Amino acid sequence: LYSADPESCAVKKNRFPVITGYPLYAAVKSGNEETAAFLLQNGACLSSYILVDHPETTKHLLRNHFTETETPASQASEESALCLRWSGLRLPWLELDWFIDIAVRITELDLSKNCLTSLPSIIPWGLTHLIKTDLSSNRFTELPSTQSSEEILCTSLKEFNVSSNELSSLPSGLLHLGKLQRLIAAKNHLETLFK
């Protein structure tokens, strides 16, 4: 935090700046990813101000500190699989740009315990190697739908958790997932099962 701009993030008391705003915002603004990651791991929240004012830093922070890489032993020549562990960060939204260049590498996606009300259209249908998705404990009233089964590329999906949201129905695209073994949709407002 030492490189935080004292004029916009702090006031000077004696010779040292004292942060008066949000420490996470100051850390992101100053480009101090290590401090920002530490704050996020210890309960700080990614506010809309951070996402709007510092989109590239947010993207790098999520990828560098909250994404795990797995190299399958049998496929050493291929790129590593990615497990996005973006749970509990209180993300207000997701940017499509955060996923486009890594979409084919994502095998696990944990977006639980955020403040999400919508998803980019690529989630989950366009993530070709996706095996496990956790969207629980958000504020979804609906999920992205598909017009036809040809739009469903996540044919390896085995587990899909959308519990503790505000869904009135589930997307019918789930019916086309032949490898789906576990669908968790408890604690929603389901009026019809599939729409």
Percentage of residues in the chain with pLDDT exceeding 90? 75
pLDDT per residue over 12-33, tens digit each?
455 555 444 589 999 999 999 9
Please tell me the predicted confidence (pLDDT) of residue 3. 46
pLDDT at 142: 95
Binned at pLDDT 50, 70 and 90, residue 2 comes out as very low
Residue 19's pLDDT is 47
Residue 10, pLDDT > 50, answer no
Average pLDDT, the chain: 88
The span from the CA of 41 to the CA of 29, in Å, is: 18
Q: SS3 for 165?
A: coil
pLDDT at site 73? 54
Average pLDDT over residues 83-108: 96
Alpha carbon distances (Å) from 185 to 62, 85, 148: 26, 20, 22
Render pLDDT for 154-172 as a digit per residue (tens, 0 to 9).
Answer: 999 999 999 999 999 999 9
Determine the pLDDT at residue 147.
Answer: 82
How far is Cα 25 from Cα 27, in angstroms, rounded to an integer? 5
In this prediction, residues 48-69 reach a mean pLDDT of 94
pLDDT-derived band at 72 (thresholds 50, 70, 90) equals low
Q: 113 — alpha (psi -120 to 50), left (phi > 0) or beta?
A: left
What distance separates the 2 farthest-apart alpha carbons in the chain?
66
User: Are residues 162 and 143 in contact, defined by beta-carbon separation less than 8 angstroms?
Assistant: yes
pLDDT of 194 higher than 90: no
